[in-house]
Amino acid sequence: MIIATAQQTLTYTIEVLGVLALAVLAIAFGFYLVDKWKAHVADYHRRQQ
């Protein structure tokens, strides 16, 4: 019974870590896209002048 509980805990931990990793990647990608967009907008405004 203890082994099964440990296995469930391990599976749960791996799932939580996977979700956290995906969240971190999504946030990092979001920041990257915003940064690229800001650079593009700044470049566009520079060309307009």
The helix (H) or strand (E) run that includes residue 31 is helix 2-48
Paired tokens of 48: 């307009």
d(CA 39, CA 32): 11
Of the chain, the percentage scoring pLDDT greater than 90 comes to 86
Is the whole model's pTM more than 0.75, yes or no? no
Residue 1 has a pLDDT of: 61
d(CA 21, CA 24): 5
Per residue in 7-30, pLDDT tens? 999 999 999 999 999 999 999 999
> Residue 26's closest CA among 16, 36, 18, 38?
18
Paired tokens of 40: 């593009």
